[in-house]
A and B are shown apart, each in its own frame.
Chain A
Amino acid sequence: MRGFSLLEVLLAVGLFAAIAALSGTLSVEQTTSGLLSRERAGALRLAREGLEVSRYLKDSGWGMLPSGTHGLSFANAQWGLVLAPEQRGIYTRTLEITDIDPNRKLIRSRVTWADPRSAVSRQTLLEIQLSNWKTPFTQATAVAIDLSAVSIGGNGQNEVRGITLQNTSSQAVTLTFTQWTWNNTKELERLRIEHEGNNQIVWDEDGPGTPQDEQPSGVTLNIVDVQIPAGGVATVTQMRFSGKIAGAQLSAVLTFADGSQKIIPMLSP
């Protein structure tokens, strides 16, 4: 009887080995794919929660979403932002916040994890834009008026001093026009505002600013732009009138670079 030749034996063994290797590989691939699918589902849930938390923070206050890359922390029944990325099991979650404009932010919820099977870093990234539609930011809303230090000065009691504008926002604001109203016949000669370390004449009857000459109550003055940096203060150090202003009632409308207006309520210096 003729037996198998060496070639036939090698062929048979080779085929068997190939089939075994293929089925083994398929089985491993199936396992890997199942595990990866579970990991992705977990990462997606975390990323979606990150966006939900950003909505919750936005509704707690627009200022609760400062730009930058943050981690999330949960304590005392509250979510908050922290510097360090958040670790959740095998996952690392970060919330990246970018200002688009004062009333819109881009939120990226990024979840990364190391795939131990392939030494590859994997990630899931979701994005959302949030809008501050309830209380939109304007330069006027960013400015708080403080009248507690208002006083009368000058030899003829013809100067008002100490009206303070505080920029409460994280962005600079610019004052461009002022309209002052008072209830006597005296005329305005000069307006000096201290800001960013400069005690600057921003309007004067002889310039700078327009219109020129002494101005009666109610005229809108185009002043030299007064920029108030984030968190900064500008103080009216001198409003000089042609005569006694003590005892008169004074109010103003301030117009900022974005067109928003702030009213200084009636005061009696």
Chain B
Amino acid sequence: MIGKTTPRVRGMTLLEVLLVVGLVTILGFVAIEFTRTMLEFQARTQASQELEANGRIALEFLKRTIRSSTAIRIPASGASGAIIELDVLDAAHSPTRIQVQNDTLLVTEGALSPWALTNSRVKVRTFASTALLPASTPAVLLTLSLGHTNPENLHALSVSENFAQTVRLAH
């Protein structure tokens, strides 16, 4: 055993350790920030897309209903309101009324039960309809503003979308 020594393993210097710790910290920080930003962006994009899709579907339904209706009951010609009521060809669905209740766009067709035009994660902030003049050319200007319900008040979900559309009655 005498004269036989185990080879000495050289450890890391303090500088090397500090360098590695520093690098790992910076990389970790960058990775966390990047992930956080990406997640926030994804949440915002998803919320925004949901608003866009809800708004588009709501507007398409409103356009189709208004265009095929026979008369605008509410609002009166030249007036504005937060409700629109239409006479439609199908007696079972007449009148068709669209209004906001509990932050949801509700459609009531005749005596049928109301149904929601927007989903539970979407909050209707404003809805307004203006019956255009002249009365001989019945048309409606709709404005709709949607926001996310954002129950935990997250910055990423504080998004909103505004929609406006003019629709001419076909009859």
A interface vs B, CB < 8 Å? 1, 23, 27, 30-31, 34, 38, 41, 45, 48-49, 52-53, 55-56, 59-60, 74, 76-79
Contact = CB atoms under 8 A, between A and B. Distances in A.
20 contacts: A27-B34, A27-B37, A27-B38, A30-B41, A38-B52, A41-B52, A41-B56, A48-B165, A52-B165, A53-B166, A56-B137, A59-B137, A60-B134, A60-B136, A74-B141, A77-B77, A77-B79, A77-B130, A78-B132, A79-B132
Contacts of A31: 41
A144 to B, nearest CB: 22
B52 A52 contact: no
Contacts of B165: 45, 48-49, 52
Contacts of A34: 45, 48
Contacts of A45: 59, 163-165
Interface string B49-70: 0001000100100000000000
B28 interface: no
Nearest to A41: B52
Interface residues of B, number: 29
Given A55-B168, A76-B78, 17 more contacts: A27-B37, A27-B41, A31-B41, A45-B163, A45-B165, A48-B165, A52-B166, A53-B166, A56-B137, A59-B137, A60-B137, A74-B141, A76-B133, A77-B132, A77-B141, A78-B133, A79-B132
Q: Is the interface of B mostly helix, strand, loop or mixed?
A: mixed
Contacts of B137: 56, 59-60
A222 to B, nearest CB: 42
Contacts of A59: 137, 168
B4 interface: no
Contacts of B41: 27, 30-31
Nearest to B10: A1
Contacts of B80: 77
Contacts of A79: 132, 166
Given A1-B10, A59-B137, A76-B133, A49 B48 contact: no
A85 B114 CA distance: 41
B156 to A, nearest CB: 13
B116 interface: no
Contacts of B45: 34
A31 B34 CA distance: 13
Contacts of B56: 41
A38 B48 contact: yes
B140 to A, nearest CB: 10
A53 B168 CA distance: 8
B33 to A, nearest CB: 12
User: Which 3 A-B residue pairings sit nearest by Cβ, starting from the closest?
Assistant: A77-B78, A56-B168, A60-B137
Nearest to A59: B137
